[in-house]
Amino acid sequence: MIIPPFLISAGLIAFFMWLVFYSIRESKNIEEAKMSDESFVVKHTKIIAIIGIALIAILSIVVVGITISQQIQDLISGLLFYGVFGVFYLLGLLLVLLYVKCKVVIEGKNITAFFIIKKPYTFLFSDISSVVREVKRTYYGELEGMVIKTKEGRKIIAEGSQISYERFFKAIELNVNKEYLVGFEYGRDEYSMLKRNPAIIRNYVVESIKLLAGPPEMQLSAFSGRTDELAYALDGWLRVYENDSIFRRRYFSKYEYKLISDLNKSVNDLSADLFTENAIKTSPEWDEIRIQAKDVLSVLKTGQ
């Protein structure tokens, strides 16, 4: 016999019992915490830990049974057997650790992210540089999530299935500058519809380019005097599919998308004093924007 059955059995049983009690304690700590819109915890649901513990329990029974029955007689078989089961043990342990370790704690304006291995770090809502809201279609339905990036380049991901996701979503909307939010312009049903029908986005992109190519009177009337909204006329739609290369390949050629992106950059590079009513009507910079937009439209062959 390679490894004494008693040691393996005792070790697995002790580890399993510790894992169960540790998960229960962590679960109670979360449940007993007083949640509010200003103080809450975003984390995975219990089902993650339950699956992990169940997997480890099943493996423990199998390993203990085979070990005690002494069915493994040689070194190679032992290494292969314990190696394969070790991989699944690690998978079960990872699921449990995801539940007990990975979380985002919000206390007022402070956000603290906890990880399995990395040290936790704290930042403010004002430190956020972008939040991209995503809706993905899967076999089980649509899954929503947010990819949050800070000005220091750190990133955390919040999933719609997590506890307190709704609170976190609302806190992001209230405390983060709108220009840093992507995909927050619509309700959940409307945004999901847009993601399922990207052709709609293409039409809006083209209409936004037509607006930028149009005369000052049309541009000013489109936003009822909110001239600064022109800066987001095209940018908002492009950012929805910023990382969606399938959308770009399907509805625009590489050259077309580059022209659109260049136009968007030209608008974003305009200084704030060029978004007044007088500047939109008379500035040469806006005349150049209109010429550039018309050139893009001619390439897209959509007419004006």
The CATH number that applies at residue 153 is: 2.30.29
Alpha-helix residue ranges (DSSP H) falling in 101-197: 165-175, 188-196
Tell me which residue range forms the domain holding 271.
197-300
Q: Span 197-222, mean pLDDT?
A: 81
**Chain-wide mean pLDDT for the chain?**
76
Q: Is residue 67 part of a domain?
A: yes
Q: In this predicted model, what pLDDT tens digit does every residue of 108-119 receive, in sequence order?
A: 899 999 988 888
Cβ of 156: how many Cβ atoms within 10 Å?
Answer: 19
Quote the tokens at residue 242.
């910023």
Q: What is the pLDDT of residues 258-293, one digit of tens each?
A: 898 899 889 888 888 888 888 888 999 999 999 999
CA distance 40 to 46: 17
Q: What is the pLDDT of residue 52?
A: 80
The pLDDT value recorded for residue 288 is: 94
pLDDT at position 234 over 50: yes
Q: Is residue 57 assigned to a domain?
A: yes
Does 213 reside within a domain? yes
Domain count, the chain: 3
Residue 41 lies in a domain: no
The tens digit of pLDDT for each residue in 45-88 reads 878 878 887 887 787 777 777 766 666 666 666 677 677 777 88
Element at 185 (helix H, strand E): none
Does the residue 229 lie in any domain? yes
pLDDT at 133: 80
